Amino acid sequence: MRIRNGVFAWTRIVVALLWVAVVPLDAAAQTLVRGAPGETIQAAGGMVVSEHPEASRAGAEVLAAGGNAVDAAIATGFALAVTHPSAGNIGGGGFMIVRFPDGTTTALDFRERAPAAAHPEMFVDAAGEYSSTVHHRSHLAVGVPGTVAGFDKAHRLYGAMNWERLVYPSIVLAEDGFELSERLAGSIARFVERVDYPATIAAFSSDGVPYAAGDTLRQYDLAGSLRRIMLNRSAGFYQGETARLIAEEMQRGGGMITEADLAAYRARERAPIVGDYRGYDVVSMPPPSSGGVAMVQMLEILEGYDIESLGHNTSRSIHLMAEAMRRAYRDRATYLADPDYVDVPIHWLTSEAHAATLRATIDRSIASVSSPADVQMVAESMETTHYSVVDGSGMAVSVTYTLEGGYGSGIVVPGAGFLLNNEMGDFNARPGLTTETGLIGTEPNLARPGQRMLSSMTPTILARDGELVAVIGSPGGRTIINTVLQLVINLVDHRMGFPQAVEAGRIHHQWLPDRISAEEGALSAATVEALEAMGHTISVRGGQGLAHSILIDA
């Protein structure tokens, strides 16, 4: 690793016009850069990568003022709750991986929980039939939020700067407002058109008229909620005025969350999943995220093949990756859930022995068949957001958090100004109800009181020989795991530079539906023909995930 005057030096490649805030060595000023695809952005004093310029700026200013990477991650997360409302949040939840300068790591779980009244048969309509609307777009779809508790716990354990300093920038953003880009204005307008909650319409329109690009979005009720958090930490959310407002809205709309549910929420510190892939330490999130277990299992399977010699995105390498994905996603649905409620066999699932058993079932020239009678994963939205932070000491933070669907449940809490998640939709639909179209009724991930729902979020940190290599992650719902997997493979097996690794076309297989979905242009016509001859079904999709990542120069 290259050191400049005792400070780490690193490179970030930005894709999809993400915003990067960097801190120079003297930390006297921050540089905000909107990176073009393939552009290399370098820094030596600190770096924050997120979806919005003001959020990246908030984190970089914390670094420049002497805060560490955890402090900057908290400030960035609160700012995204203002500036990236489709996924940034205080009404949702997520996961954080932290790597300290001495190489030790930890994981923070602030995933949402089911309320005390939850039960496996809760997603049915008046006729007793399973209802997708109840499951995903109702007050019953809202889980007890975890974001604020997670940020509070991260700060108490590992923060260095005053809490108020981390929350205050988001209050200013909410009160003073920020200019809407064309993309965000269009997204909000489409969202407002499909909801009928008065508080939601009021929060994201001007007297019912959608905002246009260039307009300033001010969110005074949200500012009030953030101020209560600033003054009272997590108690300002889970108790008092904000908790009362949430509980009242739940009661009004037929939801289950009570003030007691909110007061009982706790974030959890957990041991990360750590895998060894060709000499690299892959550190990722444990259950209730499935990301770390599934990714490490796939890497264990693929380590038995010479992936480099097979070539990037050739029919032979894609076939093996798809078969590894197929098996990992089957195990995901069979075994993975909240480890506080289910005995998850993590060590077995990520073991070399289990990988060898699965590898032995792979025919190198014929596609396996995913039986419709077998289990499959529940659908997840693409609307998560990921951000990465590294400070001048080498502390690294990888955060993925979400409202689940775009804009979550669509419900803004009246008087509180923030959107609530629809994360209960990540629980399995109903006991025994498993279909080819995406529903699943297996036991581990059914809704139970207090249980955290399964997730695909995969915040990850890569290291080698005790040195930090990369901070990686992606949005993308159920595709997140495979997006991060392929970034690791591109860096390690195909020895790509960072621009090529993050821009290379990606594929996805999730057991059922039994098909490989590929980004447009990811596979040549000859490769598609060869894969189809092996028995694979290929579908073409738009973009898959975004690699919001930081690479440390070797």
Q: What is the CATH number of the domain that holds 283?
A: 1.10.246.130
| Residue 8 domain flag | no
Q: How far is Cα of residue 87 from the mean position of the Cα atoms in its chain?
A: 9
Say yes or no: 156 and 127 in one domain: yes
Q: What is the pLDDT of residue 549?
A: 86
Q: How far is Cα of residue 388 from the mean position of the Cα atoms in its chain?
A: 11
- 305 token code pair: 């093949």
The pLDDT of residue 23 is above 80 = no
Number of domains present in the structure of the chain = 2
The pLDDT of residue 2 is above 70 = no
Instruction: Please tell me which residue in 200, 384, 442, 460 is annotated as part of the active site.
Output: 384
Higher pLDDT, 12 or 483: 483
Q: What is the domain extent for residue 98?
A: 60-268+388-426
Q: How far is Cα of residue 444 from the mean position of the Cα atoms in its chain?
A: 21
Q: Which residues of 86-108 are buried (b: 16+ CB within 10 A; e: fewer)?
A: bbbbbbbbbbbbbbbeeeebbbb
Judged by average pLDDT, the poorest of 9-23, 138-152, 390-404 is 9-23
Say yes or no: 372 and 394 in one domain: no
Q: Where are the beta strands (DSSP E) in 122-264?
A: 178-179, 205-206, 209-210, 216-217
| Residue 522 domain flag | yes
Between helices 220-232 and 69-83, what is the axis angle to 10°? 160
The rounded mean pLDDT for the chain is 90
Say yes or no: 257 and 300 in one domain: no
Q: What is the pLDDT of residue 128?
A: 85
Higher pLDDT, 368 or 429: 368
What mean pLDDT comes out for the span 482-487? 96
Q: What is the pLDDT of residue 370?
A: 87
| Helical (H) or strand (E) element with 226 | helix 220-232
76 in active site: no
Q: What is the pLDDT of residue 31?
A: 67
Tell me the Cα Rg of the chain.
Answer: 22
Say yes or no: 226 and 357 in one domain: no
- Please name which of 460, 272, 276 lies closest in space to residue 355, comparing C-alpha atoms: 276
pLDDT tens digit sequence for 327-340? 999 999 899 999 99
- 272 token code pair: 């990360």
Q: How far apart are CA 505 and CA 313, in angstroms?
A: 8
Banded model confidence at residue 498, pLDDT cuts 50, 70, 90? confident
Kindly report the pTM of this predicted structure: 0.94
Banded model confidence at residue 33, pLDDT cuts 50, 70, 90? low
